[in-house]
């Protein structure tokens, strides 16, 4: 049987796992979580005979090609396109004809070890602190006096794969009028931000800092924090309080990017960010002699493109840092976009913003969706035929006799 190879990058994360995963597990296996071990297994097996698949045979010329099944692990660089496309289709129903702002909340490096040792707890704290900061500052009558809509996405990596937890927030440039507690007025009106300006980032930074550290302090008092070896000296409350003091004093990094022009630009952004993994296969340049070379942007040096070479074991160590706890939801909606009564709230917003404008500006199968939907190829790349029959491939790569006529 002749199988047609898929167009793919020269190197993939899966290649690094298959070639060097055993050595990595021998060195770090005792430190890996069940989720990290599962991710390594599934990514290595993705789109290989181990997962089975189907063969496609052209009835015109007899040419055959095999398509193996995907692992569907959310950390796999190859398995996000379809999930992203379906997710984006749902998001088009939630867009409003207003400016959208991109706000990023970043944790100081000093918190990295504590966050890694308490990933599920402190990822949750990070998302909640960012959402409540946006809600409270926007609801303040001195700032905006409105309840805004927020979509938050957790990222844990930097371009060089170091641990760098931060939250990307896409926020509506305005909202329904409310009181200082965020309760929407009985007869609300739409309150817009000033063009090109959302909320003062210094205020956001300080409120975010206070909310996050207060929750960390409370978790410590309730004995819910696990102290990593590097912070074992903080077992006494006085030592922990002294450790927190400089974190209260320093300025935390919160910044707002220029606003999106409208829903179409928001979809383009979401297509890039929501289902992104720590590193894409396209960034890998080589895997030779146990060394992995990849491209990255150095944001500290004017976003210049550079290359980095790591041992395969160090590359995998950095990669598995970003495997999320089982069941943890990294994309969340708050405010106007929170799932409870969302349809009613958005319908009210559209009435206040004029539904004709919404209809004119929302994309119908638009540009952003097209960028994530793979084009439907002709059945046979050999002769261009369009008639095929499908044959199931079992987990050992053998073609079974069961056939599925193509619709």
Sketch the domain layout of the chain as residue ranges. 13-76+375-405, 81-278+321-370
Predicted local distance difference test score (pLDDT) of residue 399: 54
Distances (CA, A) of 198 to 115, 139, 255, 270: 29, 12, 11, 19
Predicted local distance difference test score (pLDDT) of residue 378: 52
Predicted local distance difference test score (pLDDT) of residue 405: 47
Tens digit of each residue's pLDDT, the chain (407 residues): 444 444 578 899 999 999 999 999 999 999 999 999 999 999 999 988 888 887 777 777 777 777 788 888 999 998 887 788 888 888 888 888 888 999 999 999 999 999 999 999 999 999 999 999 999 999 999 999 999 999 999 999 999 999 999 999 999 999 999 999 989 999 999 999 888 888 999 999 999 999 999 999 999 999 999 999 999 999 999 999 999 999 999 999 999 887 776 677 787 777 777 888 999 999 999 999 999 999 999 988 888 999 999 999 999 999 999 999 999 999 999 999 998 889 999 999 999 997 535 444 455 444 444 444 444 445 676 776 665 656 666 665 555 544 444 44
Q: Which of 198, 339, 214, 296 is nearest to 256 (CA)?
A: 198
Q: What is the DSSP letter of 50?
A: G
Long-range contacts of 123-126 (CB under 8 A, 24+ apart): 123/154, 123/156, 123/165, 123/324, 123/325, 123/328, 123/330, 124/328, 125/212, 125/215, 125/216, 125/219, 126/154, 126/165, 126/167, 126/212
Which neighbouring-strand residues pair with 154? 167
Q: Are 321 and 156 in contact (CB under 8 A)?
A: yes
CA distance 232 to 33: 21
CA distance 190 to 253: 30
Q: How many CB atoms lie within 10 A of CB 288?
A: 10
CA distance 185 to 324: 38
Q: List all residues 6 or more positions away from 388 whose beta carbon is below 8 Å from its beta carbon.
A: 56, 57, 58, 59, 379, 380, 406
**0.75 cut: is pTM over it?**
yes
Long-range contacts of 306-312 (CB under 8 A, 24+ apart): 308/160, 312/16, 312/19, 312/20, 312/23, 312/24, 312/287
């Amino acid at each position: 049987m002749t199988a047609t190879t898929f167009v793919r990058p020269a190197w993939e994360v899966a290649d690094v796992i298959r070639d060097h995963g055993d050595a990595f597990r021998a060195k770090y296996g005792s430190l890996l979580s069940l989720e990290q071990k599962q991710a390594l297994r599934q990514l290595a097996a993705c789109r290989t005979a181990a997962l089975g698949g189907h063969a496609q045979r052209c009835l015109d010329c007899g040419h055959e090609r095999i398509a193996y099944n995907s692992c569907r692990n959310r950390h796999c660089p190859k398995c996000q396109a379809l999930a992203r496309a379906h997710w984006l289709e749902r998001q088009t129903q939630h867009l409003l004809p207003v400016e959208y702002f991109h706000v990023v909340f970043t944790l100081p490096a000093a918190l990295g070890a504590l966050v890694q040792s308490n990933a599920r707890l402190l990822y949750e704290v990070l998302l909640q602190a960012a959402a409540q900061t946006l809600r409270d500052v926007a609801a303040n009558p001195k700032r905006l006096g409105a309840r805004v809509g927020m979509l938050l996405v957790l990222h844990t990596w930097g371009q060089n794969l170091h641990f760098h937890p931060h939250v990307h927030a896409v926020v509506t440039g305005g909202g329904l009028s409310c009181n200082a507690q965020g309760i929407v007025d009985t007869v609300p009106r739409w309150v817009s931000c000033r063009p090109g300006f959302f909320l003062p980032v210094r205020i956001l930074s300080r409120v975010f800092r206070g909310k996050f550290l207060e929750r960390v302090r409370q978790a410590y008092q309730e004995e819910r924090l696990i102290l990593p070896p590097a912070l074992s000296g903080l077992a006494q409350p006085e030592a922990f309080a002294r450790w927190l003091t400089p974190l209260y004093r320093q300025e935390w990094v919160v910044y707002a990017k220029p606003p999106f022009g409208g829903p179409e630009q928001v979809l383009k952004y979401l297509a890039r960010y929501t289902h992104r993994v720590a590193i894409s296969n396209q960034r890998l340049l080589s895997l030779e002699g146990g060394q992995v070379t990849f491209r990255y942007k150095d944001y500290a040096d004017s976003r210049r493109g550079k290359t980095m070479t790591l041992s395969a074991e160090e590359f995998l160590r950095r990669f598995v840092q970003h495997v999320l706890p089982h069941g943890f939801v990294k994309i969340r909606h708050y405010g106007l976009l929170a799932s409870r009564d969302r349809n009613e709230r958005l319908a009210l917003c559209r009435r206040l913003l004029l539904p004709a404008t919404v209809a004119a500006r929302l994309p119908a199968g638009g540009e952003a969706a097209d960028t994530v939907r793979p084009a439907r190829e002709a059945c046979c790349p050999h002769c261009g035929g369009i008639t095929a029959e499908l044959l199931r491939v079992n987990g050992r790569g053998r073609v079974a006799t069961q056939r599925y006529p193509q619709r």
